[in-house]
Structure 1
Amino acid sequence: MASTGITRKLDNLGRIVMPKEMRDMLHIYEKTPLEIFVEEDKIILQRYQPEMACILTGEISPDNLLIGDGEIVLSKEGAKLLMEEIEKLTVYTR
């Protein structure tokens, strides 16, 4: 885990403000759902990823595809986007 050197104080409601530059870098925007984990004495924030959410589009559907022994979830649209990107890469490497 890398230290950013940034410190923040809690306000009277227990809130902290994450710097805009950090939110932008991590693609965390207003109303982005975050999960909160506790590991020993650490608090970990992570974008919430519901089960069966496509890793590319975020779409949640029972029709989503499970690949890589269930480690990767793709919607049909996400699979299409991935295939287009792979085809672009193969064109550039020929």
Structure 2
Amino acid sequence: MKSTGVVRKIDELGRIVLPSELRRVFGIHEGDELEISVEGEHIILNKRLDVCLFCSSDEGLINYKDRKVCAKCAAELSVTAPRELRLDERVGAAD
């Protein structure tokens, strides 16, 4: 395992801050879930990928453009996205 050379202190609540460059490189965003596991003497963080992009549900997932979306959010998007697009078209026409 390659060391990044970055050292972080653990705060009084046991938290650490992941450097922004690491978050960017690994596509980790606010609200993402990380799986914490232990292998021997190492603590391993893995981005949890098998959850819905919008609500973090792990049930009824659909793979859409390399992203996971649950059936409920997909159904909501199928209703709200066309409505939003029509609204954008009307606002654009008024300009």
TM-score category (smaller protein)? 0.5 to 0.7
Residue number in structure 2 paired with 1:3: 3
Which residue of the other structure, out of 65, 69, 74, is the alignment partner of 1:59? Answer: 69
The 3 A distance-change label for structure 1 pair 53 and 16 is: farther
% identical equivalent positions: 41
Q: CA deviation at 1:60?
A: 4.4
SS of residue in 2 equivalent to 1:37: strand
Distance 2:48 2:34 in 1: 5
Q: Aligned pairs, how many?
A: 61
TM-score (norm 2): 0.56
Larger Rg: 2
Distance 1:38 1:60 in 2: 29
Computed over aligned residues only, the root mean square deviation of the Cα atoms, in angstroms, reads 2.0
Distance 2:47 2:11 in 1: 22
Q: Which runs of 5+ in 2 are unaligned?
A: 51-57, 72-95
Distance 1:42 1:53 in 2: 33
* Structure number with higher helix proportion: 2
Q: Which runs of 5+ in 1 are unaligned?
A: 62-94
TM-score (norm 1): 0.56
- 1:1-94 correspondence runs (5 A): 1-50=1-50, 54=63, 56-60=66-70
